[in-house]
Structure 1
């Protein structure tokens, strides 16, 4: 006789294999028992993970029913909104009735409720011989086939030990157990409410909970004594509790409790491993992770406008059907300029392939990388409000499946790729089953949501000697405990509240009365929400009622940094006993106290106070032990010169030590995005203007912006083309129309011609020992003055910040413009003017109106040419001073916290000859942690 322990949570694809038992013993759940019996009766089983295909088959059936209905069915509105979700709900109702014994195939009887009548009609359509509809068998169909075959008695004699009470079991399982008992198999129910522990705190609480289950009156209140049988362990974080328990297990060889871990995470297992103890086999990742990430992103390549954020997520994935280096390069591009197929995009792509050749990548790998790029990015896209051919959608999942299998062949440890290939295959099966030839955006997204199912968690093998673990509350009955028949000790690891389950009935009260009353279709007892709630309560009480000697409840205040609430049973515990009683059984690890009497028979972890030593604040200057290692670079840029002059530590860290932060692969901020787009619009507009004979009108400028907006936004600002971004896009284009025309008008009215946009300028400064400085000027203009002297103007384009740049002009802090003006003079440009143009405000800022009539001026005492020369002299002097400091091994750390110390150090400095130093922290300092600002 085969002994089977039957429990609703004893076995599941989401749980590890049940523990090894003696020969002839099995732990099974309801579906597992059906599969076990099907094997003996030679019944065909539905292939695994085909629920999505069943849903699609039922959808087609419903669509046919809707087309033939003479009256509007109750599901019509829902089906029009979401066909697959409606089909899934109706299929669930159909399976629930069949599982409970209701005969949908029988002829309709008088008085059948309208909604149940629709299910009858659907079933009749399914069974009609002239129709070609098919429906894969679900658990309900398999159960009814099994019940019909049980009279043959092909299975061995069974001794079934049922864990849950009969009245809480699903109707289908109750029917199966009744049939097995009638056929001669032994069916018995384990005592669902065990007797409480004979004495102690644990027994007192179990007595309270037993009364809650049975509804009996309490005989009296037993005070908690703190005898160690019931313990509440509290801490701020779950890691603190894990370290405490792991040390207890390590130091007490005979203390080996079971562990209930309803939320599977590695915290406790990692703590045990760090103490040299065996692993419980809890996984760190799920097999579903690759499918969770890749499967939901590939459909973004079908539609336009491009969903930049989803494309960004795709190219940033560690596991993806795209070359890793190419994906990294594209992610960096999208972070800065969120758009596709512009000049910078094409350069990034081709540069990646050139690097592959330089690195001697195998030709097959380069070819595959090129094919992957062409497949994903060079495919035809379809309007999001339109439809895409089903063949195009299918090709995505076929490509994904083939790639997953090939990648798994190359790396057998990536077992999640097998799950991904299986889900991609289910997607193609579902598409093949659909009669439609085109799919909308919502159809494709619904398809992905339908075929995605949680994949099994990959549990590692449990190491010998590890603590026995259960992963569902009612499964603690499976835990062995040193060969004892009963569980002696239990750690409820995550005694915290998880998301509650809400149960709703599929049927109205009159429908339930009809089903239970009995009819030609059979009496049907469907599970009510009350029964499901009672089952959940019964399961949640198992961990508290099962252990006989000791129960530890672990309650962190935060898990993974997020605040959590204690389990609902903690409220029952607080209601049953006084605050003084609870204090006797509580151990607060963060208070580093020793529990008196609670765990007196065990060696407990000791606590040692560690003094808190705050990290040192930033120092005004640090000493460089090898100053001769710092050498001037062959070529600097205006930006790097700015760092050297004002924030030397940034220049040393970046350009001498080569410390560069990993780029944050996220879409550029709003202001940065608009600034880059504004530069792009102006650059290409001025190229057109420079090639046009005669003056350009405002209408022509605005027409150019409108005509080229879509192309430029696709290349570098596709975010503004996405759904819901229309107000921002309209506002940006209105701003650009006004700003572009204002700039062109300034240029034309003042007689300037465009010499270059994003033009490279290079020069040498007199006393910098041949130091070359090279940069790119946003806009360079030229003209001949009224006196015949050639003139030039350098305009720096900014998106916003008129107050900041007005102050730079007023204080002579426009270093970049001063350097560009000096370089133009060295090239023979004669008089050179400088200005800032604020795109958002369509505002030209300069020191006078000599270059641009009508510009907003910043009054200064001296001529602009004198100020430019003085600024260059101060740059030279400051540069020389900084190198003197570096030569002496002194590196200045300039930030808000060191300003006062620096002022004291520089009391004797000749400040008038130098640039005015900044009195705040650099807004773009990547090295704040190195200088002590972050501590």
Structure 2
């Protein structure tokens, strides 16, 4: 068996063997570990259990805090337990890979002593704590058995120099060498500095930098500049189409799909690049479902949930809920119950004639989400309740995945991630039977990961490509470096203090520090260039995905190497300095579109079938007001029936507060207020406020809205007592609220509602309640423009 190994070869590798050859494998760290485990009989450990290990280590750190509440990580642990556990577990694994035995001595530095103590507690038979095997534990098991058991590996080709590999890999390969495995190193092909490309390669590899060189413009080194990467993608796709023999290998570092999309648009074979995003509708559910556990509800999250394209709720029911939630952001108001009962009555009738409608399943889904028990968001929720909703989600997602016949892999990922949340919750200690909102959010965030999706499969004849800098392991004739920008780690910092490193060095324990990581990065950065033999094209955008980006650090080396680098550049936006490109390629030509003057918009529209715009059977004051002053609005709203969609748009605060104020006054004046005092009014409003807001104005109960809520309630109290006191002092009595009114205008029935009707003997007074706009309404009344 022959293995090609590289630190970045778990991703795409180029070039591979043209023909399938048995016994030749390309492995990165993860794949190599799995192979060695299978060869040595150590297989059986999962690769995706890091979330469980974090929880197990978090529980272990709890124990350490019980033993000594002055440990160095106390404050961090109180702020974020999962983040602290993650960081300390990484350090523990790093020390394990470095072969430290966690032996606690009197001179052991404090932080190392705490980690050693944690390891002792973990291994003690007196405790029930355990830590599942991770990469480090599995790797150390392989090292322990590598000489004791047989394997079929004959030779290994290393992509990186031995000195740049992490120390545990250096140890592994030295052990394999003692068992008869031949260790080889992949080399860069020799070159002569006789072209622009080779002279730049020589500049990169020589320690003594020569004076600036003059470009020969031989076409071996080209720079393509543009403002946006999408412009470059469109231009290159057209370039490939016009030059069918031009087939470079593409380095696409950040798995950007812009180039692939442009190729498909031009009818060229798709690269089949994966797209990994957290914005998938299916994955959005994972972080939204916990909102159904809490009171007050979050209307924005409910709206987001019901508006998803993929969700465990019937689409038509979700639309009804979205419209209702947008108008009255809350649950279980009178309008809510009317809408729900009407929907299920109509659904039951439709189900009688349509066998595809599963009435009971739709109703069960609604009951599960909207009629479940909720807990105050400032309190805690039982763990079993949380487990139940994630188990439900996992089963639903897997069922939909099977019914979809494996077309939507995001659903399978969602099911797996929901199961992991369940496993993590079940791994919590018995003492953690209740979870706060923040704890639950942190658990979900630990699992929440992007889902890779293939929008377009690889097509026959596609260009070869790879993603990682050192994913190229052999010479290639031509290379296109897509998005030649700075997308590497900005800096490396040491996780350890110097006195800790000194202590470990005495024990002959070597850790991979910033210096070693930087050396490796510098080596990886030049691999694509050094492996290119004939032509290198660097695509340098100023913006990627709408954000400004910095050029790749190697551009500085280019500028230091050549004094007239602009001779190799072609700006596709301004089309300057394109002579060199024209000598090599058939370039796409830009076609300037002629400007077309649309002219001044007409002040009227022609209705084709005006005979269908019949007279309404009845009008309202609102519709008549639109007819008299804004006839086009009257036609659009009341004839053509154009309405603004309320989906994903909760009413603005002023409209919401106006609606709530109407509801407060409507309910209050149903009471006998004839003998109420100011204290009675305020007490009644205090009793009703939370219930009212929870049902029809839940946005005012959200975190951070307390000042607006208090100001609103105080304003309602002031207005209510002002109106009640005036009614009492002037001898009026409440006749009715929301009283229907009817009459005729030019023979047309006109209907409306009066907010409040008062009676005093034979006198009647109609009170129209408004939330704001007093000055404007006063002006309208004085000008006799107000129909009401």
Q: Could you tell me the TM-score, scaled by structure 2's length? A: 0.93
Match runs of 1:506-655 below 5 Å: 506-518=495-507, 523-578=508-563, 581-592=564-575, 595-655=578-638
- Could you tell me how far apart the structure 2 residues matched to 1:758 and 1:563 are? 57
How far does residue 591 in structure 1 lie from its aligned partner after superposition? 2.3
Higher relative CO (CA 8 A, sep ≥ 6), structure 1 or 2?
2
Structure with higher Rg: it is 1
Distance 1:323 1:454, change over 3 A: same
Asked if the contact 1:408–1:414 (Cα under 8 Å) also holds between the matched residues in 2, the reply is yes
How far does residue 51 in structure 1 lie from its aligned partner after superposition? 0.8
1:322 counterpart residue number: 313
How far does residue 379 in structure 1 lie from its aligned partner after superposition? 1.9
1:305 counterpart residue number: 296
2:475 counterpart residue number: 486
The structure 2 residue matched to 1:793, chosen from 763, 766, 788, is 766
1:254 counterpart residue number: 245
1:409 counterpart residue number: 402
Match runs of 1:699-778 below 5 Å: 699-766=679-746, 770-778=747-755
Count of residue pairs the alignment pairs up: 781
CA RMSD of aligned residues (A): 2.7
Asked if the contact 2:571–2:577 (Cα under 8 Å) also holds between the matched residues in 1, the reply is no
Q: Does 1:674 align with 2:657?
A: yes
Greater shift in the superposed pair: 678-687 or 562-571: 562-571
Greater shift in the superposed pair: 441-450 or 554-563: 554-563
Greater shift in the superposed pair: 609-618 or 390-399: 609-618
Distance 1:303 1:219, change over 3 A: same
How far does residue 656 in structure 1 lie from its aligned partner after superposition? 3.6
1:370 counterpart residue number: 363
Asked if the contact 1:781–1:792 (Cα under 8 Å) also holds between the matched residues in 2, the reply is yes
Q: Does 1:199 align with 2:194?
A: yes
1:178 counterpart residue number: 174
How far does residue 751 in structure 1 lie from its aligned partner after superposition? 3.6
Asked if the contact 2:156–2:182 (Cα under 8 Å) also holds between the matched residues in 1, the reply is yes
Q: Does 1:157 align with 2:130?
A: no
- Could you tell me how far apart the structure 1 residues matched to 2:573 and 2:57 are? 56
How far does residue 98 in structure 1 lie from its aligned partner after superposition? 1.0
The structure 2 residue matched to 1:140, chosen from 136, 141, 144, is 136
Distance 1:624 1:441, change over 3 A: closer
1:482 counterpart residue number: none
Distance 1:341 1:598, change over 3 A: same
How far does residue 677 in structure 1 lie from its aligned partner after superposition? 1.6
Q: Could you tell me the TM-score, scaled by structure 1's length? A: 0.79
Secondary structure in 2 matching 1:256 = coil
Q: Does 1:167 align with 2:150?
A: no
- Could you tell me how far apart the structure 2 residues matched to 1:506 and 1:204 are? 39
Asked if the contact 2:5–2:158 (Cα under 8 Å) also holds between the matched residues in 1, the reply is yes
How far does residue 280 in structure 1 lie from its aligned partner after superposition? 0.3
Secondary structure in 2 matching 1:776 = strand
Q: Does 1:62 align with 2:61?
A: yes
How far does residue 675 in structure 1 lie from its aligned partner after superposition? 1.7
Deviations 1:230-254 (A, max 9, x none): 3332333322211111111111121
- Could you tell me how far apart the structure 2 residues matched to 1:17 and 1:312 are? 46
How far does residue 605 in structure 1 lie from its aligned partner after superposition? 0.6
How far does residue 471 in structure 1 lie from its aligned partner after superposition? 1.8
Q: Does 1:427 align with 2:421?
A: yes
How far does residue 114 in structure 1 lie from its aligned partner after superposition? 2.1
Q: Does 1:472 align with 2:468?
A: yes
Deviations 1:522-543 (A, max 9, x none): x221111222233233333333
1:803 counterpart residue number: 775
Deviations 1:139-160 (A, max 9, x none): 1111111112111452213322
Secondary structure in 2 matching 1:349 = helix
How far does residue 459 in structure 1 lie from its aligned partner after superposition? 7.3
How far does residue 499 in structure 1 lie from its aligned partner after superposition? 7.3
Greater shift in the superposed pair: 508-517 or 666-675: 666-675
Q: Does 1:275 align with 2:275?
A: no
Deviations 1:168-195 (A, max 9, x none): 322222221221122221222223x665
1:923 counterpart residue number: none
1:813 counterpart residue number: 785
1:101 counterpart residue number: 99
Secondary structure in 1 matching 2:212 = coil
- Could you tell me how far apart the structure 2 residues matched to 1:650 and 1:204 are? 72
Distance 1:459 1:653, change over 3 A: closer
Secondary structure in 2 matching 1:549 = strand
How far does residue 68 in structure 1 lie from its aligned partner after superposition? 3.3
Name stretches of at least 5 consecutive residues in structure 1 with no aligned partner. Answer: 479-484, 818-935
Distance 1:812 1:167, change over 3 A: farther
2:46 counterpart residue number: 47
Deviations 1:432-491 (A, max 9, x none): 22122222222212211223344445475421110112122222x15xxxxxx6212222
How far does residue 370 in structure 1 lie from its aligned partner after superposition? 1.6
Asked if the contact 1:389–1:438 (Cα under 8 Å) also holds between the matched residues in 2, the reply is yes
Asked if the contact 1:297–1:310 (Cα under 8 Å) also holds between the matched residues in 2, the reply is yes
Asked if the contact 1:677–1:717 (Cα under 8 Å) also holds between the matched residues in 2, the reply is yes
Distance 1:777 1:224, change over 3 A: farther
Asked if the contact 1:261–1:471 (Cα under 8 Å) also holds between the matched residues in 2, the reply is yes
Deviations 1:677-723 (A, max 9, x none): 222212211222xx44x333222111111111111110111111122
Secondary structure in 1 matching 2:396 = helix
- Could you tell me how far apart the structure 2 residues matched to 1:134 and 1:588 are? 60
- Could you tell me how far apart the structure 1 residues matched to 2:681 and 2:391 are? 48
Secondary structure in 2 matching 1:245 = helix
Distance 1:546 1:686, change over 3 A: farther
Secondary structure in 2 matching 1:187 = strand
Asked if the contact 1:62–1:87 (Cα under 8 Å) also holds between the matched residues in 2, the reply is yes
Secondary structure in 1 matching 2:754 = strand
- Could you tell me how far apart the structure 2 residues matched to 1:613 and 1:596 are? 33
- Could you tell me how far apart the structure 2 residues matched to 1:149 and 1:463 are? 44
How far does residue 553 in structure 1 lie from its aligned partner after superposition? 2.3
Distance 1:263 1:617, change over 3 A: farther
Deviations 1:635-660 (A, max 9, x none): 33333333333333333344444444
Distance 1:245 1:681, change over 3 A: same
How far does residue 273 in structure 1 lie from its aligned partner after superposition? 1.3
Distance 1:167 1:499, change over 3 A: closer
Distance 1:350 1:48, change over 3 A: farther
Distance 1:394 1:271, change over 3 A: same
Asked if the contact 1:288–1:419 (Cα under 8 Å) also holds between the matched residues in 2, the reply is no
How far does residue 227 in structure 1 lie from its aligned partner after superposition? 3.6
Distance 1:517 1:740, change over 3 A: same
